[in-house]
Structure 1
Amino acid sequence: MTKSADQEHASPSSSFPTYAFEGPAQVAIRTRTTDQPRYVDTRLPVWTWYDGGLAMKIDWAALQLNSELIEIGKGFMAYALEKYAPRTAVMFADTLRFLSSTNLATGLPWDTHQLVTALEELKKTRAVLIGFRRLYRWAMDRGINGFDPITYLKIKDVKSDRVDPHARIFLSQSGLDLDEEVRLLKRIERDIQVQNWNEFQLNIMLNLCFELGPRSIQLHSLDIEDFEFIESADFEKYYTLWLPMAKKVGQRRPERRPRKLTTRLGEKISEHISIVQRRFGRGCKPLFVNLKGRRLSVSEIIACLKQELREAGIDKPNQVTMLLRHHLGQGLADQGTPADMIAELLGHNSTVAARAYVTATPNIARIKEKALGKSPAYQRIMRSLLTGEIVQRRDTVPERAIRGVIDTQYIGEIGACALPVHTHCPYNPVFACYTCKKFHPFADGRHEQVKEALQREAQRFIDMAEQVGDLIHNRPLAQHQTTILAVSATIERCRQHTEDAADDAL
């Protein structure tokens, strides 16, 4: 329906009825586990929902909002509880609580001055600003009076004052030092009598955090059925944990992804499950439970792991699971793991955080130092891998140009071969060139493309080797790693050659 000019200037109360919440008596929420309430009773003055074993609430009587905004808030919260994760619904509840302390709480319509003043307060807290933006969009989409597209666009353009959530990773690292890691491993690997079952369970959780970097909510959500093992014909056992993903948008229940476990950790979990089922019966579903057989809450997990870290002589302000998660991400980045693989292993929805690890890790500075040739050891490695002199593509006859295929991808324009034109090299083109004195790299050659293709192919070797359980004796993988190192050295030589040429021109 289109409003007339008279209606545009008429008071909202005389033109349109005020909004009234007429939603369902019970709203189904997205639960992580089967042993927590799945519905929120909207008839009660206080709405309560659960996540991670913790109760979350919004008390409508305590909000200092006018009656219409209360009804709009109920409609929005019912929508949020059904569509988003429970923790996200808490963020929206915080937005409503914050809104009740601003000048917008008196009711609709909001004039421009009111909105500008309130937004100055809202943007100080990023989560609250996001919540308000989502609330406004929800009300506007439903045609509720007082919410219009022009104002929404103004709200959308407002940026929060808070630093980007990933900036702390870019600016600093919160992993473990080498001596701290040694102490932690000693704590994990110590012998624990199974009679001391609670301590044994804590040791398993600490071990899991070190190996896989799960969040505390993921540890809370694990069920016994998420653990499985396969025994091969020669009696070798392979252990897998189907880890629930904590941040997957748009799913009613968390997706579970398989994660391989070390044999020692797999054996400990197997023994732990046997103890739990003897103590609390085979009907016990959670993997980690308290002394009464109930699923450990997030707060209990954090408190226990914090104590474990102190016992290992590590006292840091971070939450334990996030500390070890950052440590794992940093370690993967230090070893040259691609950002997309780090994101997959840590269960991120994007590579933003993973790229932050790669950029911010302190060891990258040491890697760059080696690449610049400042390390004598690295200089010796580079000299042993040196190719022929660097040349310009324009100075090379086409017959001497090197071409080849890596990872099913054709690659050319990387350099020239000094062998006679009609001589056939007995080695594999491209793969062998970067460790051959007869290879003359082009200063502007596509060496980065070669490196990326080699990394992809090396990862394929890793995947295949994991399937047969033989990552140690894998000569093709070792060859790829050596070639990747040689390509990296060539890239640095070409960069230095180009810079020197530019300085000479000046």
Structure 2
Amino acid sequence: MKIDWTVLQLNSELIEIGKGFMAYALEKYAPRTAVMFADTLRFLCTTSLAAGLPWDPGQLVTALEELRKTRTILIGFRRLYRWAMDRGINGFDPLIYLKIKDVKSDRVDPYARIFLSQSGLEIDEEIRLLKRIGRDVLSNAWEEGQFNVMLHLGFELAPRSIQFHSLDIADFEFVEGADRERYYTLWLPMAKKAGQRRPERRPRKVTSRLGEKILRHIAEIQSKFGNDSQPLFVNFKGRRLSVAEIGMGLKQELLGAGIEKPHQVTMLLRHHLGQGLADQGTPTDMIAELLGHNSTVAARAYVTATPNIARIKEKALGKSPTYKRIMRSLLTGEVVQRRDTAAERSIRGVIDTQYIGDIGACALPVHTHCPYNPVYACYTCKKFHPFADGRHEEVKEALQREAQRFIERAEQAGDLINNRPLAQHQTTILAVSATIERCRHQTAVLANDDI
């Protein structure tokens, strides 16, 4: 990251404030966060606030309308204002800060994409990748050997580019057991958190094959650049590889394996590892720990998108008489056509603050009060007759979003296992899915009859 202060069209006083803020950010926050703050300073150049302090309230309101369009810029500006206010710099007022704090960005719901599948490697791509990792590298081609080590490390632990960049020789350890077997450990740097001067390191075991590669690599770079060499991965001058150089090198390795996916290098390997762990039934908390996530939200995306397990379960359950009997007991009444139903029998309700109608009809007498919650209870009620072309997919998505919120709250309370509302949602989602399949089947049958 570079900031050319001479080209920033900011008032001289704001330039000095910006320098102090960036020095503070680089010491306290992760590098990526500091880049976000630098982008905020560049964005300020395009607003009326660049003219200098004090800022007119009208100017500030206009600028905030632009800032809120980009969440990261708004966060950066809010932090800059707080930092300057805490240091008593003239022109930064606590009352104005409270107004800035109340401004919300045009952000997307953080749980909206939790049910999307993650990208990864296909079986044939993984085979080619393993062949690329296992190939013999010439002893005099140390740079090629270095990227082979990085590719192997990416396959086993899936670090981010910044983690590759931060690795030092001292982060690699090995011990020799009584049976003369060697055990290798890599202390992988995690994301730098607020208040940390140095990123936390967590121990990660690596295979003997990778450990031996790293040992040879360390011996090679120390012989070329001296024993004082600190970084684990270096360029031809012995300096630490930059994030950009790491990305380009790994991209070439993937291309060498016949894997070409635009804009995906280290994240592709991370998604592949996360999805592979989820497909094997690994708990979300363990996936989050292995990938270095601070919460299980991202890990649940892998668990949700487990196509391999889903196919196996679907095939096994579909043949199970017990499962069929359970599903028949969960299912609703007969599937009907919307046009054949009286309007006053139609069911409508609210799920996750979303109004949903046109899902089906109730067989109870008109004006009869149902003791159960509409929509939530309908899909497990024999009195409910779903429409063949009803909005059942919307019901399922809304229930999934609401269930996700239950998961978040339950995790905070530490009661994720014994959570009856969440269990009820899962049962209802299962019933909605079964109803969707019934409607599709009936639609297909009717279409064949018409033919």
State yes or no: 1:125 paired with 2:125.
no
Please give the root-mean-square deviation of Cα atoms over the aligned residues, in Å: 3.2
**Using the alignment, how far apart are the partners of 1:81 and 1:247 within structure 2?**
11
Question: Following TM superposition, by how much is the alpha carbon of 1:117 offset from its aligned partner in structure 2, in angstroms?
Answer: 1.9
Residue matched to 1:192: 137
Partner of residue 68, structure 1: 13
* Structure 2 counterparts to residues 152-167 of structure 1, below 5 A: 152-163=97-108
Alignment partner, residue 106 of structure 1:
51
Output the amino acid matched with 1:349: N
Report which stretch shifted further, 197-206 or 154-163.
154-163
Contact 2:117 2:302 in 1 (8 A): no
Give a deviation string over 1:60-97, Cα, whole Å, max 9, x none.
33222223333332332333233223332222121111
Alignment of 1:101-250 (within 5 A): 101-163=46-108, 170-250=115-195
Aligned residue in 2 for 1:271: 216
The farther-off stretch of 164-173 and 280-289 is 164-173
TM-score, scaled to structure 2 = 0.66
Q: What is the aligned partner in structure 2 of residue 461 from structure 1?
A: none
Counterpart in the other structure of 1:80: 25
* Cα contact 1:166–1:353 (8 A) shared by 2: no
Q: How many residues align?
A: 335
Please say if 1:254 is aligned against 2:199. yes
Q: Contact 1:247/1:348 (CA < 8 Å) preserved in 2? A: no
Cα distance in 2 for partners of 1:74, 1:292 equals 30
Q: Compare CA radii of gyration and give the structure with the larger one.
A: 1
**1:294 pairs with 2:239:** yes
| Distance (whole Å) between structure 1 residues aligned to residue 235 and residue 11 of structure 2 | 44
- The alpha-carbon deviation at position 163 of structure 1 amounts to 3.7
The CA deviation string for residues 153-191 of structure 1, in whole angstroms up to 9 with x for no partner, is 332233323546786664342211222111111111223
Match of 1:348 in 2: 293
| 1:20-55 deviation line (CA, Å, top 9, x unaligned) | xxxxxxxxxxxxxxxxxxxxxxxxxxxxxxxxxxxx
Q: Distance in 2 between matches of 1:293 and 1:143?
A: 44
Structure 1: unaligned runs, 5 residues or longer: 1-55, 384-389, 391-490
- Give the match's secondary structure for 2:228: coil
Correspondent of 1:357 among 289, 302, 322:
302
Whole-angstrom distance in 1 between the partners of 2:111 and 2:247 = 22
Equivalent AA in structure 2 for residue 336 of structure 1: G
Aligned with residue 91 of structure 1, among 31, 36, 54: 36
Q: What is the TM-score of this pair, normalised by structure 1?
A: 0.60
CA-CA distance at 1:329 after TM superposition: 1.3
Q: Secondary structure at the match of 2:202?
A: strand
Tell whether 2:270 aligns with 1:325.
yes
Q: In structure 2, what is the Cα distance between the partners aligned to 1:181 and 1:166?
A: 30
Contact 1:228–1:241 (8 Å) recurs in 2: yes
Unaligned runs of at least 5 residues, structure 2 = 324-328, 330-422, 436-451
- Partner SS for 2:58: helix
Look up the equivalent residue of 2:144 and give its one-letter code: E
Distance 2:47 2:19 in 1: 18
Q: Which amino acid aligns with 2:100?
A: I
In 1: Cα distance, 2:56 partner to 2:313 partner: 55
Alpha-carbon distance, 1:368 to partner: 6.0
Task: Give the distance between the partners of 1:148 and 1:225, measured in 2 at CA.
Answer: 47
- 1 CA distance for matches of 2:21 and 2:85? 11
Q: 1:110 to 1:292 in 2, by over 3 A?
A: closer
Aligned positions of 1:373-388 closer than 5 A? 373-374=317-318, 376=319, 379=320
The CA distance in 2 between the partners of 1:499 and 1:60, in whole Å, is 61
Q: Report the AA paired with residue 197 of structure 1.
A: W
Tell me if the contact between 1:302 and 1:319 (Cα under 8 Å) persists in the aligned partners. Answer: no
User: How many Å separate the matches in 1 of 2:431 and 2:106?
Assistant: 40
> Which 10-residue stretch deviates more, 184-193 or 111-120?
111-120
Q: From the superposition, tell whether residues 294 and 167 of structure 1 become closer, same or farther in structure 2 (CA, over 3 Å).
A: farther
Q: CA deviation at 1:98?
A: 0.5
Separation in structure 1 between the aligned mates of residue 230 and residue 88 of structure 2, nearest angstrom: 45
Deviation at 1:305, TM superposition (A): 0.7
Equivalent in the alignment of 2:334: none
Q: 1:368 and 1:247 mapped to 2: Cα distance?
A: 40
CA shift digits 1:398-454 (9 cap, x unpaired): xxxxxxxxxxxxxxxxxxxxxxxxxxxxxxxxxxxxxxxxxxxxxxxxxxxxxxxxx
Write the letter of the residue equivalent to 1:338: P
Distance (Å, rounded) in 1 between the aligned partners of 2:240 and 2:20: 32
Work out the CA distance in 1 between the residues paired with 2:93 and 2:47.
20
